[in-house]
């Protein structure tokens, strides 16, 4: 077994094979997802919410993400690990973007980086790919701009479809190896997927993209509360962990744990 390469993902598209992608931020999930055959793992800036407990993705820093990238890379054998460039680490221009991307590759050991924005970050994508670093783009709803967008809103409805399509063309033209389409109408995602030769990775973008990504805590039901409509929960980890925790607590209080077999 060897690591998945970006060329494998493009070949998969040519064959018409779809692939799954998940976020991961730690060694245990990374190892489980790797062995379960998830070819691409994203150390998302969604660690802001899902690891560090921030309200939005805006506060998380490169310094907070790099150790998580290292953990995921160390724990995997075949997955291609993508490091997500956090807000504030690439917007100033191609020089800043390349500097940050190099840190993710060199210090984090990532195999690719991801950043948000279409036409507005095409120059950054060009600079990073020009240095030999694969870039996954991210268009449609981009959480780092939620204050401009005005919340979690579907992008590309009606006549706005042309905006998302123009962004898709721009990132492909700039050299991205794949593009995340977040919260765009299924029909728009389908059209972009058909037009581009690079794979599209949907999240809230319907069934016709080349790949699908979810935040793992959403997929596995660890996150509590109301999930967005595009999330499907494949397990109830929060329920399982709550039960295990209550049982442990009860057994300690009742003197049942540790038993003889746990005792030296």
CB 215 within 8 A of CB 46: yes
Number of residues that bind Na ion (CB under 5 A): 3
Query: Could you please report the per-residue DSSP string of 4-53?
Result: --HHHHHHHHHHT--EEEEE--SHHHHHHHHHTT--EEEE-TTHHHHTS-
Count of residues binding ligand KIV (CB under 6 A)? 11
Of residues 43-72, which lie at the interface with Na ion (CB under 5 A)? 44-45
Q: Is residue 215 close enough to count as binding ligand KIV by CB under 6 A? A: yes
| Residue least distant from ligand KIV (Cβ) | 44
Chain position carrying tokens 């980890």: 237
Selection from ligand KIV, Na ion, none that 179 binds (CB < 5 to 8 A by kind) is none
Site string for ligand KIV, 127-166 (x = CB under 6 A): -----------x----------------------------
Q: 177-206 mask for ligand KIV (x: CB under 6 A)?
A: ---x----------------------x---
Pattern of binders to ligand KIV over 14-33, x per CB under 6 A?
---------x----------
User: Which residue in the block uniquely carries the two structure tokens 């075949």?
Assistant: 78
CB atoms within 10 A of CB 171: 28
How many Å apart are CA 109 and CA 23, to the nearest integer?
A: 16
Say which residues have a Cβ less than 8 Å from residue 244's Cβ, sequence separation at least 6.
none
Residue where the block lists tokens 């240095």: 131
Q: Which of residues 62-91 bind ligand KIV (CB under 6 A)?
A: 84
Among 24, 33, 45, 134, contact with ligand KIV (rule: CB under 6 A): 45
| 64 assigned ligand-binding residue | no
Least distance CB 244 / ligand KIV (angstroms):
26
DSSP classification of residue 117: B
CB 112 within 8 A of CB 80: yes
Residues that bind Na ion (CB under 5 A): 44-45, 84
């Amino acid at each position: 077994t060897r690591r998945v390469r970006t060329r494998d993902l493009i070949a998969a598209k040519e064959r018409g094979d779809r692939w799954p992608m998940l976020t991961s931020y730690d060694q245990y999930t990374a190892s489980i997802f790797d062995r379960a055959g998830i070819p691409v793992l994203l150390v998302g800036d969604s660690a802001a919410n899902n690891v560090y407990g921030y309200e939005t993705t805006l506060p998380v820093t490169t310094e907070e993400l790099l150790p998580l990238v290292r953990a995921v890379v160390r724990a995997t054998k075949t997955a291609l690990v993508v490091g997500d460039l956090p807000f504030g680490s690439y917007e100033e221009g191609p020089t800043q973007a390349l500097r940050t991307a190099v840190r993710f590759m060199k210090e984090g050991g990532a195999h690719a980086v991801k950043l948000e924005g279409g036409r507005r970050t095409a120059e950054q994508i060009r600079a990073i790919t020009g240095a030999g670093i694969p870039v996954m783009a991210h268009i449609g709803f981009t959480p780092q701009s939620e204050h401009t967008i005005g919340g979690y809103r579907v992008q590309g409805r009606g006549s706005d479809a042309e905006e998302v399509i123009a962004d898709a063309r721009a990132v492909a033209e700039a050299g991205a190896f794949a593009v995340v389409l977040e919260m765009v109408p299924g029909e728009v995602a389908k059209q972009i997927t058909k037009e581009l030769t690079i794979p599209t990775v949907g999240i809230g973008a319907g069934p016709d993209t080349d790949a699908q990504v979810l935040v793992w805590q959403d997929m596995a039901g660890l996150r509590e509360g109301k999930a967005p409509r595009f999330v499907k929960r494949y397990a109830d980890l929060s329920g399982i962990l709550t039960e295990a925790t209550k049982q442990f607590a009860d057994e300690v209080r009742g003197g049942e744990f540790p038993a003889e077999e746990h005792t030296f």
